[in-house]
Amino acid sequence: MYKDFEGRTEAEALQKARQELGLVNDDVYVEVLEETKKGLFKKSYIKIRVYYGDEEKEDIEKAGESEYLPEEGKVLSAESDVERKTIDFVTTLIKKMGYDATVTISSRRDSKISLNIESDSSSILIGRKGKNLDAIQLLANVYAATIDEDAKIVIDSENYRMRHEDQIVRNAVRSAEYVRRSGRSKLLEPMNPFERRLVHTALNDFKGVETKSEGEGVYKQVRIIPTNPKRK
């Protein structure tokens, strides 16, 4: 869920949101929709969108991502039609791409099934920034939904997803240290909802900075802002 608020400053708009919605800091994800700086003939103005409740969780599901990570080195036997047929689908898909691979189940929890791809061409199947792996995962989810609409498929290879998440968190912390030291905000590269939530969560208790999402669509950017910016 989300609602838009306006104010002369972001702090004022956010305070209105907290008062009306009864939120505390940990409940809030903010996206700046419109901002006008104070000038000779105009007053400062900002419009923000405040996400609360399960909105961020819903965005993650839409992106085909999952917070559940498979256990490294663990292989499970297929127990249902959706598992067996999805494994066959992914294996055939990769073969049609021109590569050989072994697809196994690394974990399951409720309706979430984690598949692991082992291949001599893993680096190609993962792709730049995991784009190929995300595309395979998307197709696997579309196919699995035709068998069981509740099925959620997570696909990994060479433990890429965990390594990628670690990299995102490390970069966020380094950027936060720069922002706190320099007193200047920093805008991170575009990320999907799950990746943005990693950043928000990692910096939630990082003293001296706060975060907000900016942009439109699924891939937005996180801005890290000093809470005590240095005055010029």
Tell me, yes or no, whether 188 and 228 share the same domain.
Answer: yes
Q: What is the pLDDT along the chain (232 residues), one digit of tens a residue?
A: 667 888 888 778 878 888 888 765 444 556 566 767 666 556 778 887 676 655 444 444 444 444 445 555 578 888 899 999 999 999 999 999 999 999 999 988 888 899 999 999 999 999 988 889 989 999 999 999 999 988 999 999 988 988 888 889 999 999 999 999 999 999 999 988 888 999 999 998 899 999 999 988 778 899 999 987 665 5
User: What is the per-residue pLDDT across 26-47, written as a single tens digit (0 to 9) for each?
Assistant: 445 565 667 676 665 567 788 8
Question: Tokens at residue 199, please?
Answer: 């950043």
CA distance 86 to 113: 10
Tell me, yes or no, whether 179 and 209 share the same domain.
Answer: yes
CATH classification of the domain holding 228? 3.30.1370.50
State the virtual CA torsion across 170, 176, 179, 182 in degrees, nearest 10. Answer: -70
Out of 158, 180, 208, a domain closes at: 158
Domain count, the chain: 3
Tell me, yes or no, whether 93 and 130 share the same domain.
Answer: yes
Tell me, yes or no, whether 216 and 172 share the same domain.
Answer: yes
* Residue at 18 is within a domain: yes
Out of 127, 158, 189, a domain closes at: 158
Q: Which amino acid is at 221?
A: Q
Q: Which of 172, 202, 168 is nearest to 186 (CA)?
A: 172
* Residue at 73 is within a domain: no
* Residue at 75 is within a domain: no
pLDDT the model gives residue 39: 61
Tell me, yes or no, whether 86 and 149 share the same domain.
Answer: yes
* Residue at 66 is within a domain: no
Q: What is the pTM of this model?
A: 0.59
Tell me, yes or no, whether 170 and 115 share the same domain.
Answer: no
Tell me, yes or no, whether 196 and 146 share the same domain.
Answer: no
Q: Which of 144, 146, 171 is nearest to 155 (CA)?
A: 144
Domain with 35 in it:
1-53
Tell me, yes or no, whether 168 and 217 share the same domain.
Answer: yes
